[in-house]
Structure 1
Amino acid sequence: MTFTQMLTLSEAAPIVIDGGLGSAAEDRGIDLGHALWSAELIRRDPDTLLAVHSAFAHAGARILTTASYQATPTGFVEAGISVAEGNRIITDSVRVARSAAERRDVLTAGSVGPYGAALGDGAEYTGDYRLSSSEYTAFHRPRIAALAEAGADLLAIETQPRLDEIAAIIGLTDETGLPSWVTVTLQTGTDTNVPTLPDGSTLAELAEAAATSASVQAIGVNCVRPSLVTPALRELFRHTDLPLIAYPNSGEIYDANTLTWRDGAEAGVGSWPVAEWTRLGARIIGGCCRVRPEDIAVLTERTRA
């Protein structure tokens, strides 16, 4: 089944995707304090990575994202990894995910994180950087090319804070001919009735950029508080006919000073307003940080109800 075919079937019930790859790995005792983050698993412990992917697939995820979110030239240089070895790591991220996916007729999405993720300072949530279009292209091209050549079914352009960077990435994905989705992070501390990207761009502008692409088949949000999903979907629904996608964090709060998570004021996955998100056009729903396989199993049951 292709991503396009899966989207067509999602008119009856939303597609459930996986959750937080890093969180599930850490639950298995894996230390991800590395410049490559979860991509380090590809080199050091592919069996654990396979087990994590398989757990999400067993829980009902129909799409698995690869561990390539932070597999970037910057991270490879910091880890002393050559260009050839870096390409092999990206290729292996697809191979491992496909090994789990093929057991359950599941698709594999090649994860493409933002430039800000490679900075290691939370810039994917602030958008506090700016490159030229050619610089963005040079940064993202090797990973996107490697993901496409390795056989990813689609590309997940995710956790994006800047519209200018999204435009550059879309140009590259159009070159591959692979379908893709684009999901963004949102500013915090602003009027949640009309959320915006961290760089100040509007969701209407995101929809307009996606409309110029031959590859983008869904847009939405990820790695945000669950309470931001409904206003974001409502705004996107006003500006696009594309299927929408939402995979927020668990609702827990990350303390950057202690490097730990704590319970937040927001309810867990079982209380997410999935029916409302679906009415607002969400055809793909899953989780990001701190959303584990057991949470995806809950989402799977709720979407089948």
Structure 2
Amino acid sequence: MGTALELMGHDIASSPLWSASMLERDPESVLNAHSAFLAAGADIVITNTYQASSEQFARAGTNPAIVPDICRSAVRIAAEARRRHLLLKGSSATPPKIALSVGPYGATLPSAEEYDGMYPPPFGPHGVPPRGSAGAAQSPPPAPLSNLEKRAEDALYDWHLKRIRIYSDVPDIWSEIDIIAFETIPLAREARAIRRVMTTLFLEHHAVKPWWIAFTFPRGELPQKQYIGGPPMTAQQLIDAVYSTANELLVPPAIGINCTSPPAVASMIVGMTCAMLNVVSQSPMIKPWIVVYPNGGLTYQPGIRKWIESEEGRSGEDWAKGVIESVGSSLSRVAEGPGDGKPLPWSGVILGGCCLTGPTEIGLLSQFLQDA
């Protein structure tokens, strides 16, 4: 949504709220952006709330008393876009879904920390080297979920729960939301915190909405390390953290990849699918969807808050075809290799686009999927 608004000519990069700044400043443009995606063929629209957090509104100088209403207005705007879309399409049209976008804690930090997961205490363990430092010498992996790690997870749980309650505490807003999309998550402990949040909501409401956790792999790997100075967390470690049944937490009905460059998506799908096969072999009742919505292939530069295009440029048609080919070939590779003929561990696939993909790219993706 943010980069789509930028492509429409809106200057939002200078605001700490990024696209959420438009909720108060120009809600009609947000509605028009949703409508453009729906007209292009989107089955799911994501609310303009990725960076709509109390921290970001405070940096923007917004009166704290009106922040909850501004956040909720994003849901109302998406619902109005859906209503208008259905009026145009007629009663036989399938209603598109509204997904509440919930960004990571790192999106509240000044240097796009969702892409490296370097959270300050209490949201990250003490002793994590700051951005640009040489880092600590390699050390053996600590005991699982050390006290500092647990403290960080607790802080993330409190932060995400407070944010979700802005919507869940208001029935007419909550009823408009079909899916909760936790996006661009860089850390397994944040995923565990999110599972705790959704379990709390389930216990309170005696029901739970569909939800997913989408991770970012900015350099073709999860930002989280196995230990300070160590190698990146593996796909199996990540999947185990999200789908462990040992702690009686809810598991997400879908898991995925977002805001990752298209070339890096294929290896991540292979790794996650192989890891999920291991989980399904132990817990056959678990069979989630996989959600894949890469970015447009550009590189984000936090220092200048801009996306940098590669020398060869990009084509919306090439992007859409590339996403479909990447996902299809990756799943086939697992089925024919490590899967050894076993059924794939996914109930289905959801495809889309993240930053620098607009209605044109989504329209092409929808068209190619229908033609396939």
TM-score above 0.5: yes
**Residue 250 to residue 165, structure 1, CA distance change in 2 (3 Å):** same
Range that drifts further, 157-166 or 209-218: 209-218
What's the counterpart of residue 8 of structure 2?
Answer: 28
Cα contact 2:188–2:224 (8 A) shared by 1: no
SS at match of 1:51: helix
> Which of the pair has the greater relative contact order for Cα pairs under 8 Å at 6+ separation?
1
- Which has the larger Rg? 2
The answer to whether the Cα contact below 8 Å between 1:226 and 1:266 also exists between their aligned partners in 2 is: no
Q: Hey, what's the Cα distance between the residues in 1 that align with 2:323 and 2:260?
A: 15
Equivalent residues in 2 for 1:1-305, closer than 5 Å: 21-32=1-12, 33-102=14-83, 103-104=85-86, 105-130=95-120, 131=123, 132-148=152-168, 149=170, 150-151=173-174, 152-176=177-201, 177-188=208-219, 192=220, 195-199=221-225, 200-211=232-243, 212=245, 213-214=249-250, 216-240=252-276, 241-256=287-302, 258-264=304-310, 268=315, 269-278=319-328, 280=331, 283-305=349-371
Residue of structure 2 equivalent to 1:18 = none
Report SS of the residue matched to 1:183.
strand
Could you list the per-position Cα deviations for residues 16-50 of structure 1 after superposition, in whole angstroms to 9, with x for gaps in the alignment? xxxxx111111222111211111111111110000
Q: Say which is worse superposed, 31-40 or 126-135, in terms of deviation.
A: 126-135
Counterpart code for 2:275:
H
Deviation at 1:154, TM superposition (A): 1.4
Structure 1 pair 257–142 and aligned structure 2 pair: CA distance change class (3 A): closer
For 1:47 and 1:205, locate their aligned partners in 2 and report how far apart those are by CA, in whole Å.
43
Structure 2 contact 23–30 (Cα < 8 Å) conserved: yes
Q: Residue 98 and residue 226 in structure 1: after superposition, are their counterparts in 2 closer, same or farther (change >3 A)?
A: same
TM-score if structure 1 supplies the norm length? 0.85
Per-residue deviation, 1:273: 4.2
**Match for residue 280 of structure 2?**
none
What corresponds to 2:128 in structure 1?
A: none
Distance 1:137 1:293, change over 3 A: same
Whether the 8 Å CA contact 1:87–1:143 is kept in 2: the answer is: no
Aligned to 1:5: none
Aligned mates of 2:326, 2:36 — CA distance in 1: 27
Distance 1:94 1:100 in 2: 10
Corresponding letter in the other structure for 2:33: V
Q: Hey, what's the Cα distance between the residues in 2 that align with 1:171 and 1:266?
A: 42
Distance 1:142-1:256 versus aligned 2 partners, 3 A rule? closer
Provide structure 2 residue ranges, at least 5 long, that are not aligned to the other structure. 87-94, 124-151, 202-207, 226-231, 277-286, 332-345
SS at match of 1:127: coil
Secondary structure, aligned partner of 1:53: helix
CA distance in 1, matches of 2:314, 2:62: 41
Residue 9 of structure 2 aligns to a residue in which SS? Answer: coil
Tell me, in whole angstroms, the C-alpha distance in 2 between the residues paired with 1:238 and 1:257. 36
State whether residues 184 and 197 of structure 1, in contact with CA within 8 Å, keep that contact through their aligned partners in structure 2: no
Q: Report the residue type matching 1:286 in the other structure.
A: G
Mapped partners of 1:79, 1:259: distance in 2: 16
Q: 1:74 to 1:215 in 2, by over 3 A?
A: same
**Contact 2:186 2:223 survives alignment (8 Å):** yes
Q: Deviations over 1:246-299 (max 9, x none)?
A: 111111233445544343258541441414414625611111111010100000
How big is each residue's C-alpha offset from its partner over 1:60-117, in whole Å with a ceiling of 9 and x where there is no partner? 1111111111111211221233443111111111111111123341111111101111
1:214 is displaced (CA, Å) by 2.8
Secondary structure of 2:273's counterpart equals: helix
Q: Which runs of 5+ in 1 are unaligned?
A: 1-20
Superposition RMSD on alpha carbons, in Å? 2.1
Equivalences, count: 280
